[in-house]
């Protein structure tokens, strides 16, 4: 879709409420989220939004006659340039609706792809979004075919010109996907080298993950002093950011990673495309699941995040901490309830990334979470450091020792706590 630079397109958001759909979510909340998604795309002005109850989606046109008539008036009356359907729309439905309504139409996956393509800032991000968009397009090729067939007046060779065209289009897309994959592999390999270099200065990786808008970047900024964009906007963050930091209060040092947020019904193409970026998550020593506990559907959001983590292949044995963020937005009663529940649960803590309340608990939880992570380092101790050397041996941390002119060279395996103790000797 092309939105003209500088000008705004007036859009209307529709959430089809189909009874068989995910019954966990209230359609009104789903609609509110879809409106937030629309706001996340620059150049769009949201004229309004509705839930459309659909007993059964019409195979060819999604909506029934009456609704289409109503929408045609709406388009005219509201001067709409775009209708956003918060759900899947088949290529045939899209074509028919666009024709009947004289208005462009975008479905949920299309909208998310548009937002991602607007946000992509790094080479890797751009490549990933391009791949996701192409893979999505590949599944919708029937559109090009019908379009073509119409142009040619439906004159068919054997097998039809459309068939041939579809094959050709598919091959072209496949070729392009192979090219993109190659470029992406190259970028990822370079990043892999960076990671290997980092591994030499081995600090535990702590990854912040969570639903979009949960407050990951706000927490990241508070801990690192970085200025990653943190905004009341869905998918504010697309590219992962990492910083090496010493946790407040005398370390230990960790690598903290801020990542792209998740959302319900995240297009599979996007999950696949972002697998490389999210490697930082799968390689993490500790996963911090940041939740907006003030959101009415925080439980559903958390479920979605867990499902996506699982699909990314995050091992169950990676330690996890759940951060219930935005407690400053809870009423006193709700805060009491949350506090009670958090106390009964394991590895759950309350936080406000904005006010800083609960930050000490968070740092303590991270410290506990990475306590089991050990690193191997080379240490050189001068001969006068006998006390330190004895301490290391006493704790059973030395794996190897060689003597040099200037002292001992020790290969030491320790966890962050032992490291801090050593430096305090
Ligand atoms: N009241 C309150 N608002 C918060 C808190 N933490 C974050 N926010 C707000 O929530 C919005 C989203 O915060 P971000 O840090 O951008 O969220 P994110 O998880 O990085 O979002 P994505 O990058 O889109 O995945 C911003 O407007 C923040 O100011 C908090 O503890 N309390
Ligand atoms: Mg963010």
Count of structural domains within the chain = 4
**pLDDT tens for residues 145-168?**
444 444 444 433 444 445 677 788
Are residues 261 and 331 part of one domain?
A: yes
Q: What band does 206 get if pLDDT is binned at 50, 70 and 90?
A: very high
81 neighbors 11 (Cβ within 8 angstroms) = yes
| Probe residue for ligand 1, chosen from 220, 229, 231 as the CB with the greatest number of ligand atoms within 8 Å | 231
Rg (CA), the chain: 26
Is pLDDT at 126 greater than 80 in this prediction? yes
Question: Across the beta sheet with 104-107, what order do the strands follow?
Answer: 44-53, 9-17, 82-85, 104-107
Question: In this predicted structure, which of 262-266, 273-277, 279-283 has the lowest mean pLDDT?
Answer: 273-277
**pLDDT tens for residues 21-61?**
666 788 999 999 999 999 999 899 999 999 999 988 899 99
Are residues 142 and 98 part of one domain?
A: no
Are residues 225 and 353 part of one domain?
A: yes
Is residue 193, in this structure, part of any structural domain at all? Answer: no
Are residues 278 and 209 part of one domain?
A: yes
Are residues 222 and 132 part of one domain?
A: no
> DSSP state, 194?
H
Using a CB cutoff of 5 Å, list residues around ligand 2, an ion.
Answer: 216-217, 236-237
Could you tell me what percent of the chain has a pLDDT over 70? 89
Is pLDDT at 199 greater than 60 in this prediction? no
Are residues 404 and 360 part of one domain?
A: no
Is residue 196, in this structure, part of any structural domain at all? Answer: no
Is residue 94, in this structure, part of any structural domain at all? Answer: yes
What pLDDT, on a 0 to 100 scale, did the predictor assign at position 144?
Answer: 42
Are residues 166 and 217 part of one domain?
A: no
Is residue 277, in this structure, part of any structural domain at all? Answer: yes
pTM of the shown model: 0.81
Question: In this predicted structure, which of 70-74, 107-111, 272-276 has the lowest mean pLDDT?
Answer: 272-276
Q: Which residues line ligand 1 (CB under 6 A)?
A: 210, 212-218, 230-232, 234-237, 261, 325-326, 328-329, 352-354
Are residues 361 and 312 part of one domain?
A: yes
390 neighbors 408 (Cβ within 8 angstroms) = no
Are residues 292 and 418 part of one domain?
A: no
Is residue 58, in this structure, part of any structural domain at all? Answer: yes
> DSSP state, 214?
S
User: What residues pair up with 244 in beta bridges, in sequence order?
Assistant: 255
Is pLDDT at 200 greater than 60 in this prediction? no
* CATH number of 252's domain: 3.40.50.300
Are residues 293 and 335 part of one domain?
A: yes
Please give the Cα distance from 212 to 215 (Å, whole number). 8
Are residues 237 and 106 part of one domain?
A: no
Domain that includes residue 413, residue range: 374-424
């Amino acid at each position: 879709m092309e939105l003209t630079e500088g000008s705004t397109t007036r859009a209307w958001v529709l959430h089809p409420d189909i009874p068989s759909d995910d019954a966990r979510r209230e359609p009104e909340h789903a609609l509110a989220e879809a409106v937030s998604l629309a706001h996340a795309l620059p150049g769009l002005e949201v004229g309004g939004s509705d839930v459309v109850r659909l007993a059964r989606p019409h195979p060819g046109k999604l909506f029934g006659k009456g609704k289409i008539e109503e929408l045609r008036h709406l388009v005219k009356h509201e001067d709409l340039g775009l209708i956003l359907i918060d759900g899947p729309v088949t290529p045939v439905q899209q074509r028919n609706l666009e024709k009947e309504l004289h208005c462009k139409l975008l479905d949920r996956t299309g909208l998310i792809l548009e937002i991602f393509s607007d946000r992509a800032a790094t080479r890797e991000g751009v490549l990933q979004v391009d791949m996701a968009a192409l893979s999505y397009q590949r599944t919708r090729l029937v559109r090009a075919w019908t379009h073509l067939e119409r142009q040619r007046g439906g004159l068919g060779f054997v097998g039809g010109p459309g068939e041939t065209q579809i094959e050709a289009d598919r091959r072209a897309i496949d070729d392009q996907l192979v090219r993109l994959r190659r470029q992406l592999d190259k970028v990822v390999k370079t990043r892999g080298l960076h990671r290997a270099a980092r591994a030499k200065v081995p600090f535990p990786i702590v990854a912040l993950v969570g639903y979009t808008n949960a407050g990951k970047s706000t927490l990241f900024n508070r801990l690192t002093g970085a200025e990653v964009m943190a905004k009341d906007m869905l998918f504010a963050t697309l590219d992962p950011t990492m910083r090496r930091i010493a946790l407040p209060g005398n370390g230990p040092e960790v690598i903290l990673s801020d990542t792209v947020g998740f959302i319900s019904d995240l297009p599979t193409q996007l999950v696949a495309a972002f697998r490389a970026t999210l490697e930082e998550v799968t390689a993490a020593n500790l996963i911090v699941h940041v939740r907006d506990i003030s959101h009415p559907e925080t439980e559903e959001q958390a479920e979605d995040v867990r499902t996506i983590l699982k699909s990314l292949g995050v091992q169950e044995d990676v330690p996890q901490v759940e951060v219930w963020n935005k407690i400053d937005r809870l009423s006193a009663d709700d805060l009491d309830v949350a506090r009670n529940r958090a106390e009964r649960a394991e590895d759950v803590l309350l936080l406000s990334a904005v006010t800083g309340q609960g930050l000490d608990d968070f740092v303590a939880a991270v410290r506990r979470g990475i306590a089991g992570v050990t690193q191997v380092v080379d240490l050189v101790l001068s001969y006068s450091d006998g006390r330190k050397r004895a301490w290391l041996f006493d704790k059973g941390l030395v794996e190897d020792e060689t003597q040099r002119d200037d002292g001992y060279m020790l290969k030491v395996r320790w966890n962050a706590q032992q490291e801090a103790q050593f430096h305090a000797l």
